[in-house]
Amino acid sequence: MQRENEVQHVFLVGAKSLGAYGGYETFVYKLTEYHQNKKNIKYHVACKANGDGCMDETKVDGVTRINDHEFEFHNAHCFKIDIPQIGPAQAIYYDVAALKACCKYIKEYQIKHPIVYIMACRIGPFAGHFYKEIHKLGGTVYLNPDGHEWMRAKWSAPIRKYWKISEQMMVKYCDLAICDSVNIEKYIHECYDSKGIKGRNPKTTFIAYGADLTLSKLSDDDEKLVNWYKEKGLTKKDYYLVVGRFVPENSFEVMIREFMKSKSQKDFAIITNVNDKFLNELEEKLHFKKDKRIKFVGTVYDQELLKKIRENTYAYFHGHTVGGTNPSLIEALGSTDLNLLVDVGFNKEVAEDCALYWSRKPGSLAKLIDKVDQMSADEIAEMGRRAKKRVAEEYTWAKICGQYEDAFRKYNKN
């Protein structure tokens, strides 16, 4: 249990930066934002210094730079880790280097009862070592097991096998697994009960991701929004939208192919960090550049602008097939009336009857697009009302951050 009046130090390992499009990045940003004025909690956040998705604190307002590799943001102490460009192994290198840095910092500043919260199951072979090391320092290890990294399409068969074994070892060597989906928590127990340390079942708890329900501060005639629409050739309520990482398991191929098949007169705006290799593969398969409706519109880091773009879309696509509670889905439910989701358990668990569903089979999404193009304004408004009610009851950041505060206090038994 956390001692009274003692500051609880929490080390967050696994996000690349604060506030990018990834789930962990959004989570770390929101957790530190909501707890920035808490006197009893101090966050230490590992960030990538270089490479894909790295942290560039010069682009973020409110940062106090300490040196080239350290800065304060939301009252959190953030430290950057240099990564060699070694392909898929760099994710493992990053987590190992970050955990070494955490242990060094805990020793150097003699921090009592730290919690080290590791996000994703990348470093299984090293899990036992760090588990013992952190315990020796009087700390506790928390894990977010993420959602089936071993199923991601980008990995080859040997790497998928590694992720699966890694997951098993990390669940074994943690004091608490915080699952962001009921489906993930169920899966952990189905797979790993009685396989823990000395036969102990893994201790788990469920805490979802959150969403911000406040409307964008921007008005429809705000210069920033008007200029963005003009530059991208888009009009309010006349485009479909997707926001997410540009990876195969997020169904970009299916969404683009099916939109091209549909009869819709609207545009399809894709906000993502484009990967040229994957983009070229899609162009070879689909020849989407011939379809003027398909618009890759780049990235949008301004959160108010992004929120307004979501609010003004006709409908939002969500094609994530791997993972737990996905932040971009909850954000869409909180700000968009009409949401069209790929039909997988994770998405149904979150949205229930507040969205419409499509399968990845040919024709399914195209048929749904043509159907929703004909929906009345009243039908769309009713979907939006249900979605916002669902988010307000289950997925506010205030609720989620409160649950995390409880978890840090309740389960830290040192």
Q: Is residue 216 part of a domain?
A: no
Q: Tell whether 286 and 148 lie within a shared domain.
A: no
Q: Tell whether 202 and 294 lie within a shared domain.
A: no
Q: CA-CA distance, 341 to 157, in Å (whole number)?
A: 28
Q: Rounded mean pLDDT of 328-347?
A: 92
Q: Tell whether 206 and 250 lie within a shared domain.
A: no
Q: Tell whether 228 and 81 lie within a shared domain.
A: no
pTM above 0.85, yes or no: no
* Contacts for 36 with CB less than 8 Å, ≥ 6 apart: 74, 75, 76
Q: Which residues of 94-132 are buried (b: 16+ CB within 10 A; e: fewer)?
A: bbbbbbebbbebbeeeebebbbbbbbbbbbbebbeebbe
Query: For residue 300, what is the DSSP state?
Result: -
| Amino acid residing at 239 | Y
* Contacts for 167 with CB less than 8 Å, ≥ 6 apart: 121, 124, 145, 149, 150
Q: Is residue 91 part of a domain?
A: yes
Q: Tell whether 206 and 231 lie within a shared domain.
A: no
Structural domain count, the chain = 2
Q: Tell whether 121 and 235 lie within a shared domain.
A: no
Residue 85, number of CB atoms within 10 A of its CB: 8
Q: CA-CA distance, 170 to 172, in Å (whole number)?
A: 5
SS3 labels along 15-71:
CCCCCCCCHHHHHHHHHHHHCCCCCCEEEEEEEECCCCCCCCHHHCCCCEEEECCEE
Q: By the 8 A CB rule, do 94 and 103 touch? A: no
Q: Is residue 215 part of a domain?
A: no
CATH number at residue 295: 3.40.50.2000
In the block, which residue shows the tokens 């893994």? 202
Q: Is residue 65 part of a domain?
A: yes
Q: Tell whether 386 and 405 lie within a shared domain.
A: no
Q: Is residue 19 part of a domain?
A: yes
Q: Is residue 3 part of a domain?
A: no
Q: Tell whether 68 and 166 lie within a shared domain.
A: yes
Q: How confident is the model at residue 228 (pLDDT cuts 50, 70, 90)?
A: very high
pLDDT at position 147 is 63
Q: Tell whether 190 and 231 lie within a shared domain.
A: no
41, 78, 124, 183, 385 from 114: Cα distances, Å: 10, 16, 21, 29, 42
pLDDT tens digits for range 24-74: 888 999 999 999 999 999 999 999 999 888 898 988 889 999 999 999 999
Q: Is residue 359 part of a domain?
A: yes
Least confident piece of the model among 12-16, 58-62, 232-236, 339-343: 58-62
Q: Tell whether 149 and 27 lie within a shared domain.
A: yes
Query: For residue 203, what is the DSSP state?
Result: P
Q: How confident is the model at residue 211 (pLDDT cuts 50, 70, 90)?
A: confident
User: Helix 252-261 vs helix 364-372: angle between axes, to the nearest 10 degrees?
Assistant: 60
**Residue 231: domain span:** 223-394
16, 87, 88, 103, 156 from 84: Cα distances, Å: 14, 9, 11, 21, 21
Q: Tell whether 124 and 268 lie within a shared domain.
A: no
Q: Tell whether 21 and 159 lie within a shared domain.
A: yes
Q: Is residue 270 part of a domain?
A: yes
pLDDT higher than 70, residue 231 = yes
Consecutive H or E run containing 380: helix 377-394
